[in-house]
Amino acid sequence: MVTDTQKLLGTSEEDEEEEEMDADVKEEDDGDRRNRGSHAASGSSNDEFMFQQSSMQDQVDTPGGSRRSRPVEEKERTKLRERHRRAITARILGGLRRHGNYNLRVRADINDVIAALAREAGWVVLPDGTTFPSKSQGTKPPAVVAGSSAHQSSPPALRGGSLSGHRSPTELNTCRMKGVFAPTPSPYDVQSSELVGSLNKADGLIGCSVDVINSKQILEIPPNMTEQDFSGTPYVPVYVMLPLGVINMKCELADRDGLLKHLRILKSIQVDGVKVDCWWGIAECHSPQEYNWNGYRQLFQIVRDLNLKIQVLMSFHECGGNVGDDVCIPLPHWVAEIGRTNPDIYFTDREGRRNPECLSWGIDKERVLRGRTALEVYFDYMRSFRIELAEFVEDGVISMVEIGLGPCGELRYPSCPIKHGWRYPGVGEFQCYDKYLLKSLRKAAESRGHPFWARGPENAGSYNSQPQGTGFFCDGGDYDGLYGRFFLKWYSQVLIDHADKVLSLAKLVFDTSCIAAKLPDVHWWYRTASHAAELTAGFYNPSNRDGYAEIASTLKKHGAALSFVSGEVQVLNRPDDFSGALGEPEAVAWQVFNAAWDTDTPIARENSLPCHDRVGFNKMLESVKFPNDPDRRHLSSFAYSRLVPALMEGHNLVEFDRFVKKLHGGAVMDHQHHHQQV
């Protein structure tokens, strides 16, 4: 049997490897004999050649021998070289799987890697190796290329050189379940030749990818393009999310001087503050209830000295494994030790695969964490933060505390884990198979008088299934039957109850401070009846039911704001990447916003896709201030993701400065000459 570690590294059992290496060596021997035989055959008859080949096949090197088989020592050296090559290959493939999220088979080779890269870029790769752009891409508008005609088509780029503003469906799945939201059509939905970039040197692609934009790539906005005037609109505070690893595992500032330099630049363009994760895996790393806040205290002091504000995220999840995670911050070591003996503290799928990204909500009231429940652990952590850093709370430096409620800090089940093979637009899987959640399901089924309902759906497919390919999510499927409605109600109620309990404790700790909960944009399969991806994520929101109203009411109950996370748009061309997945990111966003507005719940927002150009910033402005909304509503704050070196580059900083001024409701000149340069 192949072990899990061997699967991860792309290697099998040792004896199987030896057999394959023996086969490789034998193949080389056979090849040598065929080559030598071809020369021999030219000077003798075929019969003589066949006799020579059969008689000397096993002959060892001798002075009189005209041909010889490979010596034993050479065979051993060949095996060692092959073993070394396989070890290197295994490490490469293991790194691609673990850090690049490539779904490569166990015995992958270079062809599999190339095919994975091509498919990630949206190309079609047939089993025989035939490769071509997908039909949908062939009809999409071209990327904006400097000095090129708008009617020329450009194939999608591979990883590291993505098309500006263009993301394939696979790239969209890497946005931690965050979709694309464009409230209404606008001048910035560019799908033709309205925008043409110019480069100082060579032609290139212009867009919002961090990898392809630098200070020498400047996007020129045509003078005949009308921009929305946001002067005089309500002031929306702007926060910039700090790097994930701004505090290292020793709870120290990783780069104090570099951070201070960047914060001063942000202050110079009137950014209101910063947003930072307070990682559970750092502050309570080694032992229960032994907290270390030193690095955060230093950070908060720097921010206060610059007269900036802070939004804090209580991060009870791990960092790493999701695209965009450039550091690895696991759950506390003592929690991992418990998980090794009791893996049911983690969310579990139908196949029994554990997800250690965060704790299962089934242990909220179970004393399995060294005598404490999960709720008590969260409460003690937040209380320690409140006591140790009280000065920053009381003087208003900390303007909002966002409470982590699930994977990536979001209120959802980890239904689409890339580490378990999920790829966009799969429906995902239900995550209720740890023994604690199954006990809760059994109790709910017995209370309904149907103990045989104490099970998860058996026909819901797998991570990468599509709704119509399952008996549960298809139109008229079991999701809308008696058992389906019972199960989905229980599944979503566990999510709501978890939010209710944790937010009640957070409000008790932080009292008058503003608290918030983060909600993702699960937009794929929204135009189907079942809304399958939302169901597996815990949002009971089929076409005949509002699954977000009760969540908004729960937030209102505790005076919590709703922090909505989504991508904005593909800005330079708007390919219809959602048609195949029947996605509707705009509809999801408006449903969530309307549910919050109906309960007078404040809404904050953060972007997920990196963007550094004017067109992208203009689209984000429309998603925050809603210029076409007759009620002139707007969001309470905006958090820009993320503080990276590319943002500090000259032209990118100029565009971000314009963006900040517009969010503040100020007038912006078309040509600004005085900006801080890096």
393 phi, psi to nearest 5 deg: -75, -45
Query: Helix, strand or coil for residue 518?
Result: strand
Residue 539 is predicted with a pLDDT of 98
The stretch 71-87 carries a mean pLDDT of 79
For residues 342 and 344, give the distance between their C-alpha atoms in angstroms, rounded to a whole number: 5
Q: Does domain 238-570+577-664 have CATH number 3.20.20.80?
A: yes
pLDDT class of 448 with cuts at 50, 70, 90: very high
Q: What angle do CA 147, 153, 156 make, to 5 degrees?
A: 105
**Single-letter amino acid, residue 179:** G
Active site residue 606: yes
Tokens of 491: 């599944």
Mean pLDDT (the chain) is: 79
Helix (H) or strand (E) holding 596: helix 585-598
194 phi, psi to nearest 5 deg: -70, -30
Residue 185 is predicted with a pLDDT of 45
For residues 385 and 509, give the distance between their C-alpha atoms in angstroms, rounded to a whole number: 9
Least confident of 21-35, 231-245, 368-382: 21-35
Positions of CATH 3.20.20.80 in the chain: 238-570+577-664
Residue 372 has pLDDT above 50, yes or no: yes
For residue 145, list its beta bridge partners: 205
Residue 435 is predicted with a pLDDT of 98
The stretch 363-388 carries a mean pLDDT of 98
Residue 305 has pLDDT above 60, yes or no: yes
Radius of gyration of the chain (CA): 29
pTM for the model stands at 0.69
For residues 177 and 408, give the distance between their C-alpha atoms in angstroms, rounded to a whole number: 10
For residues 458 and 135, give the distance between their C-alpha atoms in angstroms, rounded to a whole number: 35
For residues 310 and 296, give the distance between their C-alpha atoms in angstroms, rounded to a whole number: 11
Least confident of 130-134, 301-305, 662-666: 130-134
Residue 128 has pLDDT above 70, yes or no: no
pLDDT class of 127 with cuts at 50, 70, 90: low
The stretch 613-617 carries a mean pLDDT of 89
- Going by C-alpha positions, the residue among 236, 396, 406, 379 that lies closest to residue 311 is 396
**Catalytic-role residue among 171, 366, 410, 655:** 410
**Catalytic-role residue among 357, 584, 606, 649:** 606
Listed as own residue / partner, the contacts of 455-459 with beta carbons closer than 8 Å and 24 or more positions apart are 456/350, 456/430, 456/432, 456/487, 457/430, 457/484, 457/487
Residue 65 has pLDDT above 80, yes or no: no
Residue 506 CB partners (closer than 8 Å, separation 6+): 314, 382, 401, 403, 515, 558, 560
Active site residue 410: yes
Q: How far, in Å, are 117, 459, 532, 583 from residue 427 at the CA level?
A: 23, 13, 6, 12
Residue 379 CB-half CA count within 13 A: 14
**175-230, pLDDT tens digit by residue?**
333 333 334 444 444 333 333 333 233 233 223 333 333 433 444 454 445 688 89
For residues 97 and 623, give the distance between their C-alpha atoms in angstroms, rounded to a whole number: 35
